[in-house]
Structure 1
């Protein structure tokens, strides 16, 4: 096999998501597997350079994982023509600045969501990338989860008949950090609005692409947010006031008269099989999809319960559901999308997850926050790819 090197500037790998999902389980996993086959006996071999502000942390990560290159000088890295991709999983508030600099340097850009802190900023990046002719991409990992892919398989087969509704539950209890030696599982900036924290900005970007690409485009939104835990303890043991939302209760009207509800919470204790699931009801059948599993109940297998609180329930409802088989080898969702993006850069193959999609996610988050503030339903204006991406 002939190797073709592809250099990737990776900014933000000292964070949990950047390190675990993007560096270790995606880019290095591709490298350790011998590269990404792209046809004609050629494999793409990722060559990352780790970029950040803390040289000691970068060195420790590089040494631990066999990476030979790291730097605290982003400007110098962007000026190196040998590296053609810039990846950003750093602080959201700095994303527009860094991504703009990468585009100016002629780099192809792939980045985490949210694309930016406002839809106006996100659309600026989308237009700039399109005008510069660079290959742009936004992370939309949940589309590549095994459970969601199985759910999409059911939809494409016509299993549901007419889809009526979608109910989603996401979240878990994030410890406050103030008792029992239980540190918080999430960084403190998540709970500071002034540092672009909040579950609405974080998760509504996900729900936008999940709903749009799995079911139908979102047409309107109603949202109630909350800061249920007003005081937390940070990484240094210091008590601080939580100024950002830690829970969101969203309702969405989708094209085709589909109604969706998704609860997002860092203040809930889990009583379900996975940290995230979607319950879909249709005229012909229903399904429950999680991160990995998907179970179905067809119309012909649906029990006939009758409401009678005076008698014990005769049904074991969970036993009436059937598991959707894997029928495939499902790899890490982030890695799957990285492979698609690398092929997009190297071969020009289609990659639909553009900055415009990223802007749509930020748009829904903005409207969710506005809906909460104004306590009303809001229409979701259509953002057309053609209008944004034309040079």
Structure 2
């Protein structure tokens, strides 16, 4: 059994997500398990090369984990013929240019979301990657969450019958930063830096909803800034220029209707920070990051509206949690393994830059819907998108 090394340049690894999920819990975890088994009996072994702006922080991470290569020069890694894969987890505003340069350099590319700030630019990146003949992919981590895996199983096995509606509730209270430090970086709340909950989260909702229920064909959205003043990492106040909450109604090809509430200004009264409720003719489910509770048609109670008396029904007790029937690995790591296998073979990746571009498209059209106060239809793949081509 031979070890086949694949060199991966990670740009933005000094950030929380880049460091914790992509480096430590994905690539380093893959190395610790001995690599990725290939069909030919060999093992694919990732060799990370750290890229970023802070020499001091890069050196500290490299020394902490015994890594030999790091650099503050993107040109250096893109010009190195030994680098096989370029991965981007920078701030949104820096991602498009770096991806374009990596594609031009002939590297396989894997990236966080959103892939660009505008749909036309995102589709242009996807077209460039396809023309270059490289393997390209976008992180779609929520598909690999235990709760979503259970929900996908229900969909595939026909548990719901005809799906009637889908409701997504996501968010939590992000502290303003004046007393308790904010748990999200300040750039998330500056539109000029690529911030905003629509551009951040709607690409997630796109791939999740597409995978489970098919294409979204129309959106009506309202985005708002509930908290117009926050304090940055240095304790300095700043004006919030990006949306911190969005409320949307979606229409699916199959006739189902979705509602999506996303907010960084909401206090949580649910089992998990993300919950997806699906209601169908035969049954319903509520799935979170880890849990998924179901209620079949035959177990559905018959409530009677009577505000004059206490309700005798314990509704939550009438739902049944799906059991954990398999070991589920870290979602980021699981998708990294799939992508690296595809890149090593030079094969297309299922969740490619076109999938990422559709996420940017939904975000862009949701913002347009909010700005214009109207329902906006979403063009089918291959048709013309205002401002670009899908």
Instruction: Give the root-mean-square deviation of aligned CA atoms.
Output: 1.6
Contact kept, 8 Å, 2:35 with 2:44, in 1: the verdict is yes
C-alpha displacement of 1:123: 1.0
Corresponding residue of 1:79? 79
Q: CA deviation at 1:389?
A: 11
State which drifts further: 75-84 or 267-276.
75-84
Q: Secondary structure at the match of 1:7?
A: strand
Query: What is the CA distance between 1:383 and its match in structure 2?
Result: 2.2
Structure 1 stretch 279-288 or stretch 310-319: which is displaced more? Answer: 310-319
List structure 1 segments (4+ residues) > 2 angstroms apart after TM superposition: 347-351, 387-390
- Cα separation, 2, equivalents of 1:176 and 1:60: 30
Matched with 1:36 is 36
Please tell me whether the aligned partners of residues 123 and 389 of structure 2 are also in contact (alpha carbons under 8 angstroms).
no
What's 1:252 paired with?
250
8 A contact 2:92–2:117 mirrored in 1:
yes
The CA deviation string for residues 40-88 of structure 1, in whole angstroms up to 9 with x for no partner, is 3211110000001100011111122222211011111111111110000
Q: TM-score, normalised by structure 1?
A: 0.96
- Give, in whole Å, the separation in 1 of the partners of 2:93 and 2:389: 23
C-alpha distance in 2, partners of 1:196/1:297? 40
Kept in 2, the 8 Å contact 1:11–1:52? The answer is yes
The answer to which of 160-169 and 56-65 deviates more is: 56-65
Q: Hey, what's the Cα distance between the residues in 1 that align with 2:310 and 2:114?
A: 48
SS at match of 2:340: helix
1:302-349 deviation digits (Å, cap 9, x = unpaired): 111100111111111111111112211111111111111011011345
CA distance in 2, matches of 1:125, 1:348: 18
Q: How does 1:215-294 map to 2 (within 5 A)?
A: 215-294=213-292
Distance 1:367 1:151 in 2: 27
Q: Is there any run of 5+ residues in structure 2 with no aligned partner, and where?
A: none
> What CA distance in whole angstroms lies between the structure 1 residues aligned with 2:389 and 2:60?
40
Match of 2:193 in 1: 195
Matches within 5 A, 1:1-391: 1-179=1-179, 182-348=180-346, 351-384=349-382
**3-state SS, counterpart of residue 247 of structure 2:** strand
Cα distance in 1 for residues equivalent to 2:223 and 2:336: 33
State how far apart, in whole Å, the 1-side matches of 2:188 and 2:115 are: 16
Query: Residues 89-120 of structure 1: CA distance to partner in whole angstroms, max 9, x if unpaired?
Result: 11212212111111111100000010101011
Provide structure 1 residue ranges, at least 5 long, that are not aligned to the other structure.
none
SS in 1 for 2:142: helix
Instruction: Report if the CA contact (8 A) 2:92-2:195 is conserved.
Output: no
Please, what TM-score do these two structures have when normalized by structure 2?
0.97
2:19 and 2:389 map into 1 onto residues whose CA distance is 31
Render the CA deviation track for 1:239-287: whole Å, top value 9, x for unaligned: 0000100000011001111000010000001111110010100000000
**Matched-pair contact (CA < 8 Å) for 1:221–1:253:** yes
Change (3 A) 1:349 1:131: closer
CA deviations on 1:340-383 (whole Å, 9 max, x unpaired) are: 10110113455211111111000000011111111110000112
Give me the whole-angstrom Cα distance separating, in 1, the residues matched to 2:253 and 2:319: 28
Partner of 1:330, secondary structure, is coil
CA distance, structure 1, for counterparts of residue 117 and residue 343 of structure 2: 26
Tell whether the 8 Å contact from 1:130 to 1:389 is kept in structure 2 after alignment.
Answer: no
CA shift at 1:213, angstroms? 1.0
